[in-house]
Structure 1
Amino acid sequence: MSAPPPADPIPLGTDGYPAASGVARRDAGSAESARANRRWWDAAAPAYLAEHGRDLGDVDFLWCPEGLREDDAHLLGDVAGRRVLEIGCGSAPCSRWLRRAGAEPIGLDLSGGMLVRAAALNTLTGVDVPLVQGDAGALPLADASVDLACSAFGGLPFVADVEGALREVARVLRPGGRFVASVNHPMRWPLPDSPDPDDLRVTGSYFDRRPYVETDDAEQIVYVEHHRTVGDWVRAVVGAGLVLVDMVEPEWTPGRTQVWGQWSPARGALVPGTLILVCTKPDA
């Protein structure tokens, strides 16, 4: 598949990522968040995959920067023969892992730029998975059409209406189905965005739910991440009609040296960086 160039390309910095003129904590609604993040990930896809693609793999299922992989965690259970929706698939290594494990995955992402690279990797690896461009808040699937859903740092941190997105997940899951999602641990938010454990100090309020936004010269939002507390996540899951059966806070994988943003071995030994929500849809 190919994606048309964005009508209003975002200027790139010397590192290949979109260059932001400003950073703030301010409100951002659903449409504004989706528009900004679609443009950002379209523009950032080459730099992001150049930086992290080797760690993510081409046919692999990495849940988080701490190094937890589905091969070891088994959070999804037996996937063979199951129809699985991956929300926020990016270049789709998780979906290809699912395919190789015998599942019938569908990779969904908001970014056409990411899906172009996913399609190329389908060809390169010989592991072909269907790819769909769509919003986590309006899943283009029929009711009760998938057995499992998953999201490895996919759409949920970037949507303004997470309750609506989780209701969409509940809608497309079959009764008894499972949904597992990894998100930024809420404890990340009051701490500096640094991998250095010496920087572990509270610089903001854990209870400040205003999203983190990056803006351009015209003060238009070009990137958004939304913050929820642990309690917010629990209420959102339960409010969507799902059952929260586990919350996993992965510890740093022994021997792993990869630094990923503020995630690092030294910092990971002290504070959590990822929260994984394990949910089920009640039987009818």
Structure 2
Amino acid sequence: MTATWFGYRDAPEDDGGAARAWWDRHADEYLDEHGTFLGDAGFRWGPEGLAESEAGLLGEVRGADVLEVGAGAAHCSRWLARQGARVVATDVAPAMMDAAARLDARAGTRVPTVEADARALPFADETFDVVFTSFGAIPFVPDADRVHAEAARVLRPGGRWVFSVTHPLRWAFPDDPGPDGLTAHRSYFDRRPYVEADASGHVVYAEHHRTVGDHVRDVVAAGLRLRDVVEPEWPAWNRQSWGGWGPVRGAYLPGTAVFVTTKD
């Protein structure tokens, strides 16, 4: 399905199913464009290029039971497996899980994968020491509170839930990596999602905006404790643009927020 309309509007008919269909259709295109960058460090928290090897936001992973939700082709999980973690990767899109299997075969590092919605994980309570997602799941569902609740449910006491999302401030600015993206054009408090629809008005893609406060409230409601919010600066070595991210905007505006939480 081709989008014939795009913009910001309420999308009550979007239950998250559009995300599954969109990522299924565009998995190969996405990986062709970004796969090298994602695979260079093995685990990046966002387009700035912050790597888990330097950030250490998950803590010690060797010997830990780790779950990645919204894993895409499981680049992050593959890196964690090489660090000695017992890791499982989940994603809602079958095409992404197929891509993960192909990359496993190429890399010689096998990561168990499960096709699953992050809002209804097929795992028992208190199964994992760490749960995380790098730009997965949360932006693509209207009810992100359910993602946080599921992460908290499957975490063992003392475990970490770490997630990265588009920095909420960015929603006030055009999705343009150049100078035109430096002038705010809509309210930061406008929570209507970005929507693409086909000729019949059916939603084919939706990305949901939440403020910093919304994310904090969702974490607290899930019974988790917020430990840190990391806002990566744009590094001098990274000259590429990725959608609305790039060195021009990155010099002035944060593009990614990484929330680090724990289950007491």
TM-score band by shorter chain is over 0.9
- 1:161-205 CA-to-partner distances (Å, cap 9, x unmatched) read 111110111000000000111001001111001001343111111
1:260 and 2:242 equivalent?
yes
Q: CA contact under 8 A between 1:87 and 1:154: conserved in structure 2?
A: yes
CA deviations 1:106-161 (Å, max 9, x no partner) are 10001001111001111111100110111111111110000001100011111111
User: Deviation string for 1:56-94 (max 9, x for gaps)?
Assistant: 117700110011000110001110000100011101010
Q: Tell me the residue number matched to 2:79.
A: 97
Matched residue type, 1:90:
G
CA distance in 1, matches of 2:51, 2:203: 33
Q: Report the AA paired with residue 228 of structure 1.
A: R
Q: Does 1:36 align with 2:18?
A: yes
1:151 to 128, 133, 149: 133
Whole-angstrom distance in 2 between the partners of 1:59 and 1:273:
19
Q: How far apart, in 1, do the equivalents of 2:34 and 2:181 lie?
A: 24
Whether the aligned pair in 1 keeps the contact of 2:72 and 2:97 (CA below 8 Å) is yes
Match of 2:9 among 26, 41, 44: 26
Residues 206-260 of structure 1 show CA distances to partners (whole Å, capped at 9, x for unaligned) of: 1111111100111100001110000111111111100000000100122111210
Q: Does 1:86 align with 2:71?
A: no
In the alignment, which residue of structure 2 is the partner of 1:72? Answer: 54
**In the alignment, is the contact (CA less than 8 A) between 1:58 and 1:93 conserved in 2?**
no
User: If the length of structure 2 is used for normalisation, what is the TM-score?
Assistant: 0.97
What is the aligned-residue identity percentage?
A: 53
Q: Which residue of 2 aligns with 1:220?
A: 202
Quick one: which amino acid aligns to residue 255 of structure 2?
A: G
Contact 1:136 1:159 in 2 (8 A): no
Instruction: Give the aligned residue type for 1:210.
Output: R
Gaps of 5+ in 1: 1-9, 11-18
Preserved CA contact (<8 Å) 1:33 1:158: no
Match of 1:178 in 2: 160
The answer for the alignment partner of 1:277 in structure 2 is: 259
In the alignment, the residues of structure 1 paired with residue 171 and residue 205 of structure 2 have an alpha-carbon distance, to the nearest angstrom, of 16
Kindly tell me the number of residue pairs found equivalent between the two proteins.
Answer: 264
Tell me the distance in 1 between the aligned counterparts of 2:155 and 2:241: 35
TM-score by length of 1: 0.90
Tell me the C-alpha RMSD between the 2 structures: 1.2
Residue 121 (structure 2) aligns with = 139
Instruction: Work out the CA distance in 2 between the residues paired with 1:61 and 1:33.
Output: 29
The structure 1 segments of at least 4 consecutive aligned residues displaced by more than 3 Å after TM superposition are none
The letter for the 2-side match of 1:150 is: F
Does the 8 A contact of 2:49 with 2:238 survive in 1? yes
The amino acid of 1:136's aligned partner reads A
CA distance in 1, matches of 2:40, 2:228: 28
> Per the alignment, in what secondary structure is the counterpart of residue 247 of structure 1?
strand
Distance 2:14 2:174 in 1: 25
Give the structure 2 partner of residue 112 of structure 1: 94
Residue 129 in 1 paired to residue 111 in 2? yes
Paired AA for residue 23 in structure 1: F
Which amino acid in structure 2 is aligned with residue 222 of structure 1?
V
